[in-house]
Amino acid sequence: MKNVRAAVFASGSGTNFQAIIERTDLPCEISLLICDKPGAPVIEKAKHAGVSVLSFNPKHYRSKSEYEERLVDQLQAYEIDWIFLAGYMRLIGSTLLHTYEGRIINIHPSLLPKFPGLDAIGQALENKASVTGVTIHYVDEGMDTGPVIAQESISIYPNESRDSLTERIQNIEHELYPEVIKQLIKESKREVRG
Ligand code: GAR
């Protein structure tokens, strides 16, 4: 059977991207990084690791569908089977969703449906939540919506700083995301084999 190939989509620092590519026991190859922020630090991480990078500026396209059609062309050229969003700060549109139905997943730093969207960690602190966490979910057309695959919760300490909470959330993300990817791909291979 052909190797399963995945692309990571990211916009920022790429600590989740790094955690994924460092996992040596994934049953898939991380073949491509797609970045929508030219100059984002994740690009250097990918180059350093020898992962192919395609950097796009969505503003250069007339519409979201035109931008995503271009992405789909490239994803197909790289024979990509799965897409993992890792800090990709842009809604996925119908062009990608139809092409990769059920094969796009996202990570978000809260216990969804709580605190979707930007700065979930800041939202949790501002709302004086006592518990937050990490969610991994299938992507649909909404903002951090879609069926949940896995969640892990942590208590927020009284008067905890943003830095401390961010570090503890990232530690969970960097373990949980590669593990969920591993289980999902293993499961999908079993389904293909029947
Ligand atoms: C991660 O915390 C991820 O969960 C979050 O962006 C961060 C990216 O960090 N994603 C979202 O908020 C999605 N709505 P990274 O670039 O260091 O991996």
pLDDT tens, position by position, 78-132: 999 999 999 999 999 999 999 999 999 999 999 999 999 999 999 999 999 999 9
Which pLDDT score, from 0 to 100, does residue 2 have?
67
Is-contact 53 26, C-beta < 8 A?
no
Cα 1 to averaged position of ligand 1 atoms, centre (Å): 33
Task: Report how far ligand 1's centroid is from the alpha carbon of 186 (Å).
Answer: 24
Which residue has its alpha carbon closest to ligand 1 atom 7? 87
Short-list 62, 8, 61, 16, CA closest to 35: 8
Q: Assign 54 a pLDDT band (cuts: 50, 70, 90).
A: very high
Residue of 108, 111, 172 to test ligand 1 pocket, by largest number of atoms within 8 Å of CB:
108
- Residue-level pLDDT at 189: 85
Is the pLDDT confidence value at 193 over 90? no
Mean pLDDT of 173-193: 93
Q: What local confidence, expressed as pLDDT, does residue 192 receive? A: 77
Taking the centre of ligand 1 as the mean of its atom positions, its distance from the CA of residue 92, in whole angstroms, is 15
Q: What is the pLDDT of residues 65-78, one digit of tens each?
A: 999 999 999 999 99
Is pLDDT above 90 for 147? yes
* pLDDT at position 190: 84
What integer best gives the mean pLDDT of the chain?
A: 96
**Strand-pair category, 5-10 with 29-35:** parallel
| Catalytic residue selected from 48, 60, 98, 108 | 108
Cα 115 from Cα 119, distance rounded (Å)? 8
pLDDT of residue 1: 58
Q: Are 102 and 139 in contact (CB under 8 A)?
A: no
CB-based contact 14:42 (threshold 8 Å): yes
Of 113, 174, 119, 123, whose CA–CA distance to 144 is shortest? 113
Percent of the chain residues topping a pLDDT of 90: 96
